Structure 1
């Protein structure tokens, strides 16, 4: 790609960003759009509709930028939780790293690259006709001592990144502990999920749990809730709801006024309920202290290690109930199907990748479609096709990947939505690295890619040839998938269009009938990490990518803060468990950069630089191992010191008795939540459909 093609892509995407910003600053002030642009504030009663029309509602204003910028990290923590803080720390970390890398790349490496003549002399008169490779390491002469500057840059960035990774890991680990110590008692802190519960003939799961835990944990056992199969429980709940709707419709036919009746429906379904009480051999077991729950969680409960299996219970609202409907064999088969599904999605996605690669090569496109020659020779058409269209196709294709990976992850047997999203986050990251980076870089079929990676010793040399050649494509990728996609997140295109389409059909509907979305961590964290990978691999190969990355991270910082404050409400709190994913992916990106550097210096015939590069991946992997030993256990479990300290603080809390009483029913299945049906269509607490909590008196 020549400079003019890149400038065309930048111009188009910059214009789209301005349009999105302008439309958002106007539309957000319209009361009818509060459900789209401020659903969280609306749900919390903080978005007040103006009593009269003001002209400034039609004028774009930047006030929202200040509102998003001003809140401190502590305020964001109290409002959106630690996961939101960790997400923003990912962006801050990226800004720090690439500010340093950008200074080195733009002010040191670019002049060195332009001074070479490996490709051709640079045309300073008509600079837009230059190929972007003139600004890359490809233009440095083979064997040139200038390549030592690039090696020094790789060393400096490696050291800086490792230092910043260490400080961030330490900071977030301390935040995680402080957050745990500062919050009020939570049900999941006192509860473990026990599965594979052995049940003797003629007994029940509940009786087995009571006998086992009163005998083995007599001082700390509090209560338990047996898990029931989803389908049959919902059958009973739906039967009651359907009966109620039928009754209301029948009453309306008879024209009985709403004010005359306020009836609590109490249907006698005893026979049906007895048949529906098919229990799963699992239960949420609660304890009187956090320390008591931790002992049950981390100790082997029985001589048979396949029985009385324990795992940390998620927050009650975070439980993924469909998991409990699976058998052991079903979960084992589902894991195999997940592997096959991920493989199939990866292979199918190579189709748009090959289309994209065809569009970036005009000569190949003309050979396939000779009737387009007259059109493709037009300057503006060729610039749009090579600079903008390929990344637009890739952007549209990538939109469907996170939802697919979340659906696939939901079949793996995870018991919480947060675990499903972390698993989907892993899948999306590696899918993007494989299909967007390696597939585009190597421009090969799936089988060719496989054979390339089986020949491990040839990987650095193949990457050294292929990666620099795709620099222009990935610069355009950052502009399209970074700038425009992030700006569209601010504008919320799909929810806005959906709101417009639904308004004619909902004039008489309840204005409060809307849901507050949760933040899609599994979608946005992989995007940030992949841009980080591009920054690491290209900062010394084609440093021109860094300013565009800094533009993306700056946009992401202000836009995501705005969305976290106004749009998204936390659905769960994992207390920063996404950070180890960030750390591991960054380490992978560093090692990939070092392998490419090893291949580049070999290709450029500078053997001594190649030898000096070798210690870098060794040092990086040793550093990673140290961080895993030092910090990762903090993200897996809380220490005895922390648990006992928190338990002692709560001994004097007058609200603990009430909390422990409510804990007995915190993990009831949603279908068993107490419900009253009245003629006014309002639901209030009454009695559960099925009694499930067995409590030790």
Structure 2
């Protein structure tokens, strides 16, 4: 691929982004699309107006301006600490790759271009290999510029990482200190309760904690496994709720069914809605009278303590000489509890973890097939001798550029759409008792799955494709390590097109919300329904954090090898800054809070990326026969490991454990102001397990329905002023009911 072809690909993606952004700026102003682009705002804003103006049909950049003007404090109030941490990832990436772009584009790139004494073509016709480190002569004295850039990038990244880690640690401590009413601070989950034929699980829990924690034990609540009858009743309530919402819509159109194709009158929805109200009242009586027969007590319980400090100490102590009994840990937030996994026997967890690890590895191996197909498309021009039928189509310039440049990244992107749901399923089977833990596990799996398949396996299979013509020669076997070391610069065109297709186009799809937009179109224009019981969405951290970190990994490893990729990455992170900030303000709602638990994963991935960059540079310097550059790179690797170890000692414990002095001060403050009794009375209701408090009926995800035509320009709502109506995940008012479904 030459610069002209790369420019064409970039131009296509720029045009697509401009069209999508313009279309989005129009669609977001239409009352019919307000449920798609202002889901979070609709849950808090109830102002009404019937306003029609020409400005609704004119593209504008007002959403970019509002995203830019939104302060970090407003974002913290709106989306919680997790959203701020996510945006800090983007800010960190923008800063470090700005430094890398200035260093590499103005120092390293000219050295790469003038590396070999060859007659250069016109710039647009130059191949991308001319701008990589492969174009530098062996033993060249100018390789010190690459080593200098390596030092600049490494030290800048470490300084910025330290600043961000310190800042986020302070924000996490402030978050804990500023949430005095979090019921999870007083609650411990006890699992693997030993079975006794003489007494029930509840009696065993009461006796055990009264004996060993008499001064701090408050009460407990057993975990029940719901039977089929209760599940059917819960599903029936959901269906009645949907039918009731539809019946409200039918009042405006009594002569039409909701499909819009028939003209007969029907009052069935109205009848069902009244029946649902009566059924709802009866269901509670049934549960009260016969609930004990339809529920099975599990060997797990929520144990409540009088103080936060007592709960933390109890959660970290080994309670039995058998570590597989009386296992304790701090409880997740009420909306964060994943009730289904609380029923899993504790003894099965280690088997589940091994099984899910094997399943994840097997899926990674199966995914080699689409990766091989992608690399086969990328190297189709080199495989046409082996596969004769490719010679005809590849003679056409447009088809050749499309097949080898644009389509491979598109095919890989489409294949990757199967990864998040499968990894989420695997993480669910792993047995995490919290939704945030399940997301964090899925985030970890998706991250290393994408790094392995997008980077490592593409480099490896690309090298195999490059050597397919000479692999049968005996002399080529000893050259294989050299070809592997030079494979990353050789894959420059694939990584650049991947950033363009997956990065730029992926952000455009995120902004447009294609799936909700399609559902809304079908709902309004096919089923002819103006309103529907759709719930607001929580931010998909488990898919978006791996995406950001993958592009950061590619940026670090390719920075001194292929400096041309850095401007494309800067554009990606700039777009990400505005788009994700806009989505957090308008679309996604906070359903629970992890307190920034994703940041250690981000830190570890950046350190891993830096070490990989240094190791790859060390190998390339060896191939380029530059012992001085290789010698100066080794201390850099040692420094990076030492820096990582310091951060692990200095900051990581705050993310793993609670600070005793903060919890004790909070307990004393509650006692001073007389809030202790009020908190104790609310703990049982916080973790109430009942079909009536199913995930779909939780307060955090409740949706205030209203006519879309009556929304008054949702853009004008200030994020920081409206959020007071949203129940924070830590407040006592939001703890009634079971957690949100994700």
**Shared fold per TM-score greater than 0.5:** yes
Aligned equivalent of 1:348: 366
Cα distance change on mapping 1:201 and 1:94 into 2, 3 Å: same
- Cα shift readout 1:402-448 (whole Å, capped 9, x = no counterpart): 121111101111000100111111101110111110111111799xx
Aligned equivalent of 2:329: 311
Equivalences for 1:80-91 in 2 at 5 Å? 80-91=79-90
Aligned equivalent of 1:479: 500
Which segments of 5 or more consecutive residues in structure 1 lack a partner in the other structure? 447-457, 683-691
Q: Offset at 1:181?
A: 0.9
Aligned equivalent of 2:617: 597
Partner SS, residue 651 of structure 1? helix
Q: Offset at 1:537?
A: 0.8
Q: Offset at 1:380?
A: 2.4
Equivalences for 1:31-180 in 2 at 5 Å? 31-45=31-45, 48=47, 50-117=49-116, 120-123=118-121, 126-180=122-176
Cα distance change on mapping 1:254 and 1:445 into 2, 3 Å: closer
The CA distance in 1 between the partners of 2:593 and 2:13, in whole Å, is 35
Cα distance change on mapping 1:607 and 1:459 into 2, 3 Å: farther
Equivalences for 1:379-390 in 2 at 5 Å? 379-390=397-408
**1:628 pairs with one of 648, 655, 666:** 648
Partner SS, residue 278 of structure 1? strand
The CA distance in 2 between the partners of 1:519 and 1:323, in whole Å, is 22
- Aligned pair 1:495/2:516, yes or no? yes
Aligned equivalent of 1:193: 189
Q: Offset at 1:370?
A: 3.9
Equivalences for 1:47-446 in 2 at 5 Å? 48=47, 50-117=49-116, 120-123=118-121, 126-231=122-227, 234-235=230-231, 237-238=233-234, 263=278, 264-265=281-282, 267-268=285-286, 273-367=291-385, 370-443=388-461
* Stretch deviating more after TM superposition (664-673 or 411-420): 664-673
The CA distance in 2 between the partners of 1:144 and 1:660, in whole Å, is 73
Q: Is the 8 A contact 2:551 2:569 kept in 1?
A: yes
Aligned equivalent of 1:6: 6
The CA distance in 2 between the partners of 1:16 and 1:636, in whole Å, is 44
Q: Is the 8 A contact 2:240 2:272 kept in 1?
A: no
Q: Offset at 1:165?
A: 0.9
Q: Is the 8 A contact 1:39 1:567 kept in 2?
A: yes
Aligned equivalent of 1:669: 689
The CA distance in 1 between the partners of 2:446 and 2:272, in whole Å, is 55
Q: Offset at 1:467?
A: 0.8
The CA distance in 2 between the partners of 1:254 and 1:568, in whole Å, is 31
Q: Is the 8 A contact 2:231 2:691 kept in 1?
A: no
The CA distance in 2 between the partners of 1:26 and 1:256, in whole Å, is 40
Q: Offset at 1:33?
A: 0.5
Q: Offset at 1:302?
A: 2.5
Q: Is the 8 A contact 2:81 2:596 kept in 1?
A: yes
Cα distance change on mapping 1:607 and 1:460 into 2, 3 Å: farther
Cα distance change on mapping 1:369 and 1:231 into 2, 3 Å: farther
Aligned equivalent of 1:24: 24
Cα distance change on mapping 1:620 and 1:463 into 2, 3 Å: farther
The CA distance in 2 between the partners of 1:100 and 1:622, in whole Å, is 23
Q: Is the 8 A contact 1:464 1:597 kept in 2?
A: no
Question: Where does structure 1 differ by over 6 angstroms across 4 or more consecutive aligned residues?
Answer: 242-245, 252-262
Q: Is the 8 A contact 2:217 2:305 kept in 1?
A: yes
Q: Is the 8 A contact 1:196 1:281 kept in 2?
A: yes
Aligned equivalent of 1:660: 680
The CA distance in 1 between the partners of 2:557 and 2:238, in whole Å, is 59
Q: Offset at 1:242?
A: 10
Equivalences for 1:604-615 in 2 at 5 Å? 604-615=624-635
Q: Offset at 1:182?
A: 1.4
Cα distance change on mapping 1:265 and 1:244 into 2, 3 Å: farther
Q: Is the 8 A contact 2:108 2:560 kept in 1?
A: yes
**1:619 pairs with one of 639, 654, 679:** 639
Partner SS, residue 193 of structure 1? strand
- Cα shift readout 1:136-193 (whole Å, capped 9, x = no counterpart): 1111111011001111111121111111111111111111001111124111111110
Q: Offset at 1:255?
A: 10
The CA distance in 2 between the partners of 1:286 and 1:49, in whole Å, is 44
Equivalences for 1:408-557 in 2 at 5 Å? 408-443=426-461, 463-504=484-525, 506-508=527-529, 511=531, 513-557=533-577
Partner SS, residue 218 of structure 2? strand
Cα distance change on mapping 1:614 and 1:172 into 2, 3 Å: same
Partner SS, residue 284 of structure 1? strand
The CA distance in 2 between the partners of 1:254 and 1:420, in whole Å, is 38
Q: Offset at 1:132?
A: 0.8
Q: Is the 8 A contact 1:346 1:435 kept in 2?
A: yes
Q: Is the 8 A contact 2:226 2:296 kept in 1?
A: no
Q: Is the 8 A contact 2:79 2:590 kept in 1?
A: yes
Q: Is the 8 A contact 1:236 1:276 kept in 2?
A: no
Cα distance change on mapping 1:111 and 1:258 into 2, 3 Å: closer
Q: Offset at 1:19?
A: 1.3
**Aligned-pair RMSD on alpha carbons?**
3.1
Q: Is the 8 A contact 1:460 1:596 kept in 2?
A: no
Cα distance change on mapping 1:620 and 1:229 into 2, 3 Å: same
Q: Offset at 1:244?
A: 9.0
Q: Offset at 1:225?
A: 1.2
Cα distance change on mapping 1:331 and 1:12 into 2, 3 Å: same
Q: Offset at 1:60?
A: 0.5
Structure 2 length-normalised TM: 0.84
Q: Offset at 1:258?
A: 8.2
The number of aligned residues is 661
The CA distance in 2 between the partners of 1:143 and 1:419, in whole Å, is 50
The CA distance in 2 between the partners of 1:261 and 1:94, in whole Å, is 52
The CA distance in 1 between the partners of 2:215 and 2:412, in whole Å, is 59
The CA distance in 2 between the partners of 1:262 and 1:643, in whole Å, is 44
Q: Offset at 1:330?
A: 3.9
Q: Is the 8 A contact 2:443 2:545 kept in 1?
A: yes
Aligned equivalent of 2:715: none
Q: Is the 8 A contact 1:68 1:561 kept in 2?
A: yes
Cα distance change on mapping 1:92 and 1:260 into 2, 3 Å: closer
Aligned equivalent of 1:687: none
